[in-house]
Amino acid sequence: ETIAAIATAPGVGAIAVIRLSGKEAFAIAEKIFSRSIQDCKTHTAHYGSILKADGTVLDSVLLLVMKGPRSYTGEDSVELSCHGGRLVTERVLERIFEAGARPAQPGEFSLRAFLNGKLDLAQAEAVQELIAAKSELALENAEKQLEGALSETIATFQKELTEIAAILEAWVDFPEDDLEFASMDEIIAKLEGISLRMQKLQKTFHDGKTLHEGISLCLLGSPNVGKSSLMNALLGKERAIVTELAGTTRDLLEEDLRLGSLHFKLIDTAGIRKTDERIEKEGIRRSQIAMQQADLILLLLDASRPLIESDLQLLKETPKNKTIVVWNKTDLSKPPIEMESVQISAKEKTGLDELKQAIHQTIWKEGPPSKEEVLITQLRHHRALSNAISACQAVITGLQSGISAEFVASDVRCALNELGTIIGINVTEEILSAIFSKFCLGK
Ligand code: GDP
């Protein structure tokens, strides 16, 4: 079937792109275009008109012809750049449907690219991550994955495991021949090596997820310490309402914030303190949830006054490994007590660079991931690696305890299957549809 969809974002724009892919793509385009494209060379653009059923002009467009397999989907494809009005674009798409195409499902172009071997599954997932990337590092990682860095790493594991499977299977087939392919110790050592490298890759999930989803950063502090002021200073614009009355920030405010190469979801809270007021109680309840869920907490204290009970309570309650203590209002006075902290003035915008640095250090405790390192970002990949690692461990224990090579070899096959799912070998239709249905329409 030939599919079509608007590939640009919905709404009004200078131009909109409509994409058509499938066996009939050229024939369908031919039916509604003012010029013949049958003899056009591939990868050429043609100016002309899309015609209504009565032969009058609907829109003038630029039509791009791409013959399979040299296209994104691997099929014959046509892209139409038309005027970017919502209505005109829809009308052109309707004409394409009248001429024989059917509406594409979300992600269906990428699904076809995968099915036609233009991309493996990890690369297809990278396409979506590239589109969704909200920070420099997330973008770089998606680009690497799209170029095949993760797929290559997986392929290396597969190659080594396939060799081991072959040796084990030879032991099964020719048990009486004392085949000297490799000693048992060598095989175990190899398996341990592979297992260790898989574990290392699996551990990148934390960093990968941090990059992909953003870091939730929670601002905590007693009323009036300057949480809203700091949030505004970090955002560089007025978002939270700053007031001199205590307890005005009653809802959790969330903002996207890009600091350097990272993406944060900044959460402002009502602070945690004892109160009878109902709405404020709700705000406090949410703060406590935010505190548990946050990847990072900035605990604000007011340097211009001694610590109060709620400050002490917060200092006690916040998990140390993800909390940065920040003294605010240092333009008024020095902090009343010394502790590991960052000193700022949200009002005078001083100390913000030091704060950003402290944030980076807390997130990347062992240093930021290197540019070369491949990070996994999908839970699916994490699970497959876990299963592959367990299967390898089972092989090692099996060999050590003298279990028949037949059973052990089947565990190696199991590890291979798990790795294969990452790049899309032997994945079920349900998995495919779960992955691709999250894509944008037209991608
Ligand atoms: P929140 O209740 O923690 O969100 O506190 P706000 O951001 O609303 O600030 C409370 C009051 O402290 C406001 O009057 C701010 O102008 C003031 N304030 C915030 N940060 C500073 C600072 O760094 N220096 C001084 N002098 N005043 C500040």
C-alpha 226 to ligand 1 mean position (Å): 4
* pLDDT tens-digit map of 121-136: 999 999 999 988 888 8
CB 298 within 8 A of CB 266: no
* pLDDT tens-digit map of 131-187: 888 888 889 999 999 999 999 999 999 999 999 998 888 887 776 665 565 688 889
The DSSP result for 185-201, as a single string, is HHHHHHHHHHHHHHHHH
CB 5 within 8 A of CB 104: yes
Does ligand 1 have an atom closer than 6 angstroms to the CB of 250?
no
How would you classify the pairing of strands 77-83 and 44-51?
unpaired
Atom of ligand 1 at shortest distance to CA of 345?
23
Structure tokens at 225: 């310490």
Pocket test for ligand 1, best of 224, 245, 268 (most atoms within 8 A of CB): 224
Ligand 1 atom 15: residue of nearest CA: 226
C-alpha 264 to ligand 1 mean position (Å): 22
* pLDDT tens-digit map of 211-245: 888 888 888 888 899 988 898 888 775 454 454 44
CB 294 within 8 A of CB 213: no
Does ligand 1 have an atom closer than 6 angstroms to the CB of 301?
no
* pLDDT tens-digit map of 287-311: 677 788 788 999 999 999 999 998 9
Atom of ligand 1 at shortest distance to CA of 346?
23
Distance CA 299, CA 319 (A): 11
Does ligand 1 have an atom closer than 6 angstroms to the CB of 225?
yes
Taking residues 12-36, what's their average pLDDT? Answer: 96
The pLDDT assigned to 19 comes to 97
Atom of ligand 1 at shortest distance to CA of 221?
3
* Whether pLDDT at 189 is above 70: yes
Does ligand 1 have an atom closer than 6 angstroms to the CB of 243?
yes
Cis peptide bond prior to 223, omega within 30° of 0: no
- Smallest CA-to-CA distance from 59 within 82, 85, 87, 26 is with 82
Structure tokens at 343: 């000193």
Task: State how far Cα 298 lies from the chain centre.
Answer: 25
Distance CA 334, CA 431 (A): 58
The DSSP result for 218-266, as a single string, is EEEESTTSSHHHHHHHHHTS--SPP-SSTT---SPEEEEEEETTEEEEE
Pocket test for ligand 1, best of 220, 242, 252, 275 (most atoms within 8 A of CB): 242
C-alpha 174 to ligand 1 mean position (Å): 79
The residues pairing with 10 across neighbouring beta strands, listed in sequence order, are: none
Distance CA 272, CA 288 (A): 7
CB 120 within 8 A of CB 151: yes
Does ligand 1 have an atom closer than 6 angstroms to the CB of 299?
no
Ligand 1 atom 24: residue of nearest CA: 329
Measured between alpha carbons, how far is residue 286 from residues 298, 309, 420 in Å? Answer: 16, 20, 42
The residues pairing with 417 across neighbouring beta strands, listed in sequence order, are: none
C-alpha 327 to ligand 1 mean position (Å): 12
- Note the pTM of the prediction, 2 decimals: 0.76
